[in-house]
Every structure is written in C-alpha cells, then in structure tokens.
Amino acid sequence: MRKLLIPLIIISLVLGLMSVFVVDEGDRGIVIRFGRVLKADDDMAKIYPPGLHFKVPVFDSVKVLDARIQTMDDQSDRFVTSEKKDVIIDSYVKWKIKDFGQYYLSTGGGNRLTAEALLQRKVADGLRAEIGSKTIKEIVSEKREQVMADVLTELQEGANDIGIEVIDLRIKKINLPDEISESIYARMRAERETVARRHRSQGREKAEVIRAQAELEVATVLAEAERTARVTRGEADAEVARIYANTFNKEPEFYNFLRSLQAYEKSFNNKGDIMVVDPNSEFFQYMKEPTLKAN
C-alpha cells in the first residue's frame, strides 16, 4: 500500500500543477478543449484575465495572447495615382485583439505574423483604392488626412473577420520614384516662378500707382507754393507802389530825384551803350543842378 501511495501523491501533484495556469499582466488567456475554443455563456470565447486560473488537465490547453496595442510598421509599397504616376508610401497601423476566439481561429492558432500579414493585405488594398482616385498633389498636401481617414474606416470594418480592432492608421512618408521626381520638381518650380512673376507684376503696378500719387502731390505742392509766391510778390509790389505813392505825395521833388537816379543807373549800366539825348532835356536836370529844391 505504501508503495502505491508515493506514485499517487506524485500523480496528484502533477495533475494539480497541470490544472493551474497563470496569465501575466497585459495578456489574456483562452482554453482549447478537444481542438475547440472554450466558450462562455454568450457564445463568445471565454477570456481569462491576468491572474491564477484552473483548467481540466490533459484535456485542456491554454493559449496566452497579447492584449496590448500592437504596432505594425508596414513596409514601403508602391501605388499608382489617378495620373498614372507611381508613389512609394510608408505607413503604420495600431491594432489590438478584439475577439480572441476569432483571432485564434483566423490566424492559425493566434500567430501574430499571420495576423499582420492579413492586415497588411487589407491596408494595401485600401491604400491602393484611395491613392488610385487621387492626384499626387492631393495625396501630398490637400487630401492626405482624408485618405488616412477613409482607409482607417475600411480597415475597421474589414478587420472584424480577423478578430482584431484597428485603432489608427498613419502615412509616415510619401516618396516619388527617381524617374518622376525631377519632372514633379520642375513643375513645382514652374508654378512657383509663375506666382513670383505675378507678385512682381503686382508690385510694379503698385509702385507706378504710388509714384504717380507722389508726383501729383509734388505738383500740387509746387503749384500751391507758386501761387503763394505770386500772391506775396503782388502784395509786395502793391506795398512798394503804395510807399512810392505816399512818398510822391509828401515829397514830389525827392521822388522825382530818386526816380532820376534809378534811370541814370539803368541807362549807364553798360559802358557800350550809346544814348542820343538833348543835353537840355529834363532827363539831365539833376546832373546840371544836383541840389534839390526845397518845398
């Protein structure tokens, strides 16, 4: 009896250890019984959270799956745009397991490489459909966000058959093949040069307008200054005439004398001038009698 007790104890310990399994933090476990996933009452795969759990030894096997968010950094792939131009796109996808039973069955026993191969095929199909309906300009700048959003929506709907949930899709880089890069850059340079010429033309037009306005303002200022100068000269001449008139009224003899001196100065200013005048005329009266007559 004692000889049988020790083997029974050993077998019991082995069976006890075989009936216990541990799921680590960040993982989830499913139990496979007779080749089928053990299901819960809602006909979904029974999920074992992190911790210590029990199973039927020998008949049950446990598959531990990573429940954390995964990153599939896709390889660069070539796509054709609506212009029949090739672009090379590098993207990545964030995903996690949603239906552990479906994931286990569709990926050949929960193989992550198989899951990402299936997901990569769906990503390529979605990008090919979207890129094929867009131009290079739209993909690079205008509709890049829309392309990612549309492909993400398609992936979220199509990834249910794999049992995964696609959280995000991002296009990291868009490259042009070497054979078309130069033509694209040349067209971009031509577009920039056209814009630059338009800006320069607009600048010259504005400069002409500003120059014309400045010339108009200068002409206006000069005309106003000339008018003011003429008014001032007229007022000065009037004042001189008034002074002369007052002087004449007060001292007519002195006025005649002063006017004669001015006439002498103007007449004899040039030594080459010749005057034929009667010496007895009134023009020389102050030369003959320089003394003023008192009133």
Residue 106: which CATH number?
3.30.479.30
Whether the pTM exceeds 0.75: the reply is no
164 with 194, same domain: the answer is no
144 with 91, same domain: the answer is yes
206 with 112, same domain: the answer is no
pLDDT at 291: 53
- Which of 66, 91, 107 is the endpoint of a domain? 66
33 with 62, same domain: the answer is yes
81 with 44, same domain: the answer is no
Task: Could you list the beta-strand ranges (E) of 47-206.
Answer: 51-54, 60-66, 70-73, 77-80, 86-97, 164-175
Range of the domain at 295: 253-295
Q: Which among 115, 101, 96 is positioned nearest to 47, based on CA atoms?
A: 101
pLDDT at 286: 58
pLDDT at 69: 93
150 with 225, same domain: the answer is no
What is the rounded distance in angstroms from the CA atom of residue 140 to the CA atom of residue 87? 10
122 with 99, same domain: the answer is yes
122 with 30, same domain: the answer is no
Give the DSSP letter of residue 138: I
pLDDT per 10-residue tile (average), the chain, 295 residues: 68 75 91 86 85 86 92 84 87 92 90 91 91 86 86 90 92 78 73 89 90 91 90 87 75 68 65 61 58 48
Structure tokens at 50: 């992190």
Decide if 72 contacts 172 (C-beta within 8 A): no
What is the rounded distance in angstroms from the CA atom of residue 98 to the CA atom of residue 44? 11
pLDDT at 176: 77
pLDDT at 271: 62
Token match 């200022």: residue?
A: 221
- Which of 21, 39, 66 is the endpoint of a domain? 66
93 with 148, same domain: the answer is yes
- What is the b/e burial string over 7-42, where b = at least 16 CB atoms within 10 angstroms of the residue's CB? eeeeeeeeeeeeeebebeeeebbbbbeeeebbeeee
Give the chain's domain count. Answer: 4
Write the CB contacts of 176 (distance below 8 Å, at least 6 apart in sequence). 85, 86, 87, 88, 136, 184
- Counting DSSP H helices and E strands in the chain, the numbers are 8, 9
48 with 134, same domain: the answer is no
What is the rounded distance in angstroms from the CA atom of residue 253 to the CA atom of residue 72? 121
pLDDT at 251: 66
What is the rounded distance in angstroms from the CA atom of residue 245 to the CA atom of residue 238? 10
pLDDT at 184: 67
222 with 264, same domain: the answer is no
Decide if 50 contacts 21 (C-beta within 8 A): no
240 with 257, same domain: the answer is no
CB atoms < 10 A from the CB of 202, how many?
10
